[in-house]
Amino acid sequence: MNEACAALKTVGTGKTPAVAHVVYISMGSNLGSRSANCAMAVDLLDATDGIRVTGRSKLFSTEPVDYTDQQWFVNGMVRVETLLSPPELLARLKEIERLVGRTASTIRFGPRVLDLDIVLFDDMVMAAENLVIPHPRMHRRRFVLAPFCDIDPEVVHPVLKKSMRELYDGLGPDGQAVLEYAQ
């Protein structure tokens, strides 16, 4: 293990070292250079002190859900190890969205340059005003589960007690189209 990895995994401030949390972050874009927006997000995450990208899915082209009158998305999943707390990580994700070009939208689930969501944070279950973990709709979203299954299909949802593969397979054949993204 190199020194940077060791520093991330065990940054000590005394007798008990801080241990990195394993977090899954969903990313999506349907404005501008969609795949480049996602790639920039991954680079910015990996460049953040206290965050190390440890896995990333392929990109998928996904039909929009909820608000369907918009261009298809490019979606992916990133696994990171972080020393940040959930609120600190959320603040960093919002900053990355802004840096990549996201602006406020009046359309819920509408077009966006970049969307980053914390899907799982270790086995944590929490509900705050601006952050719910696990993500409350992840188990119904092909655009989240397909990329998740690409990197870690056996990870178990901490509330539903099913693997990502079981959740994906349970969606059945109908619903949102998800295709491997061809650049």
Q: What are the structural domain ranges in the chain? A: 3-180
> Is 102 assigned a catalytic role?
yes
**pLDDT 10s digit of each residue in the chain, 183 long?**
334 344 444 343 444 456 799 999 999 999 989 999 999 999 999 999 999 999 999 999 888 777 667 788 899 999 999 999 999 999 999 999 998 977 776 666 667 889 999 999 999 999 998 999 999 999 999 999 999 999 999 999 999 999 999 999 999 777 788 888 887
Q: Out of 112, 141, 150, 152, pick the active-site residue.
A: 112
- pLDDT score recorded for residue 3: 41
Q: Out of 34, 52, 56, 102, pick the active-site residue.
A: 102
Question: HSE-up of 9 (CA within 13 Å, CB side)?
Answer: 7
Give the three-state DSSP class for 88.
helix
Nearest to 25 by CA among 4, 49, 66, 53: 53
Tokens of 140: 């119904």
| CA 147, 148, 154, 159 torsion-angle sign | negative
Please provide the CATH number assigned to the domain covering 3-180: 3.30.70.560
- Bridge partners (DSSP) of residue 22 are 81
- pLDDT score recorded for residue 95: 93
> Is 43 assigned a catalytic role?
no
Cβ count within 10 A of residue 160: 13
